[in-house]
Structure 1
């Protein structure tokens, strides 16, 4: 296992704005984060560089920085709609970005509804992923009308029967729903291909660093080791530092790295 982080780790600012990932990759690399999950939810920013006619040039800049900074892009997160509908154009663009940058996994949110609805909704995108040799990793969500149970994700993964379908396990969502995380991990087994690692206190999706909330991290790491999970532990912890000025965010990056190294030490 490796420690990775979403590119949104220090992107949220005090004034409500968000810093684009292209301006942050150098900071992540300097503080030891060489494995990154590209947060393509930047596409939802109407004034951002990933929208409009210049998005391919922006992807080119990311590709250049990947080489210059010796980075690995382990996965990406597709944009999603809060009403559960698939954002068709942006999802197809996300697949193209992943293909261009050599990203093997694209995390997606299931639509609202059950397994059958998602099988129908995502069928064409699974075919697109197969053609591009990308895995769509369906994430467990946290709202009452969303897909929250790993048993549903497993059923859907098995129904697709495709090497381009797997599961991304969000520890924060699972803990908020009161799950036994170790049990979930054992149930997912080989279908688990990616993670969103975040902590909370069991009430809200706080996106905290591990040990800032109440998740049993020793139990999580032990379960991942027992199923021989060979993917990454990818932080999605953007809210523990969002109100800090930039100079203190750099210290927060260092703290995140220390926490990550400690997590990895528990897997030995």
Structure 2
């Protein structure tokens, strides 16, 4: 598909999302994660991707401390692999309190980034909102480690991946925080179950309204 869209050159600012189905860094029985991620890096390098997004975990069992240590070790392996391709790894905040899959809450997520200084952060706004993270505070504390954000809306209960404005996230406050703390962060619209026209209209509305308004707020 990429070759059909970009037959002669790579798209600008392309990012790659690592596998989140069939790969689980938290699962001690997953012995194929490195091979799968090597394929991801090969593909990302071919298309000059800016970064690769990695999930810490999907569903997990066992003692959380032990599982977190396993995930940290495997992330270190992926960081070593990334050096061969000169592509940055961004660690996404995943897992939901509402589903019992939250392995790295804000405290643990922040500590993980401290222990893995070569990794960047990708803040999934929808996940953070469901888990009751203080989004402006999180954005400020992540600072330059925050390389990208996944933008999508929900009502604070389930990971609906709605277009911006269709849920209850306060986007004015969120974008003001981004413009103030990390104005150059990459914004990725991660919608689900919407047609392309609806998605494009939402992106255009965001550019014309929220981001402009947030920029004005930071200038006051």
TM-score (norm 1): 0.66
What stretches of structure 1 of length at least 5 have no aligned partner? 1-21, 23-61, 242-248
Structure 2 residue 147 is matched with structure 1 residue 147: no
Matches within 5 A, 1:93-172: 93-111=39-57, 113-114=64-65, 115-143=68-96, 144-162=100-118, 165-172=119-126
Q: Whose relative contact order is higher, 1 or 2, with alpha carbons under 8 Å and at least 6 apart?
A: 1
Deviation at 1:78, TM superposition (A): 0.6
Cα 1:259–1:150 change in 2 (3 A) is farther
Alignment correspondent of 1:188:
142
Structure 1 stretches (4+) deviating beyond 4 angstroms?
67-70, 112-115
For 1:190 and 1:79, the matched residues in 2 are separated by: 25
Q: Secondary structure at the match of 1:141?
A: coil
Deviation at 1:175, TM superposition (A): 0.9
Deviation at 1:94, TM superposition (A): 0.8
What stretches of structure 2 of length at least 5 have no aligned partner? 216-220
Structure 2 residue 161 is matched with structure 1 residue 207: yes
Deviation at 1:167, TM superposition (A): 0.8
Answer with 134-143 or 108-117: which moved more: 108-117
For 1:81 and 1:90, the matched residues in 2 are separated by: 11
Q: Secondary structure at the match of 2:84?
A: helix
Contact 1:142 1:174 in 2 (8 A): no
Deviation at 1:139, TM superposition (A): 0.7
Alignment correspondent of 1:66:
6
Choose which of 78, 93, 97 in structure 1 pairs with 2:18: 78
Structure 2 residue 206 is matched with structure 1 residue 235: no
Alignment correspondent of 1:13:
none
For 2:143 and 2:134, the matched residues in 1 are separated by: 15
For 1:135 and 1:77, the matched residues in 2 are separated by: 12
Alignment correspondent of 2:34:
88
Q: Secondary structure at the match of 2:175?
A: helix
CA RMSD of aligned residues (A): 2.3
Q: Secondary structure at the match of 1:208?
A: coil
Contact 2:129 2:135 in 1 (8 A): yes
Deviation at 1:121, TM superposition (A): 1.4
Deviation at 1:155, TM superposition (A): 1.8
TM-score (norm 2): 0.80
Alignment correspondent of 2:197:
251
Contact 2:106 2:133 in 1 (8 A): no
For 2:43 and 2:196, the matched residues in 1 are separated by: 28
Deviation at 1:234, TM superposition (A): 0.6
Structure 2 residue 164 is matched with structure 1 residue 218: no
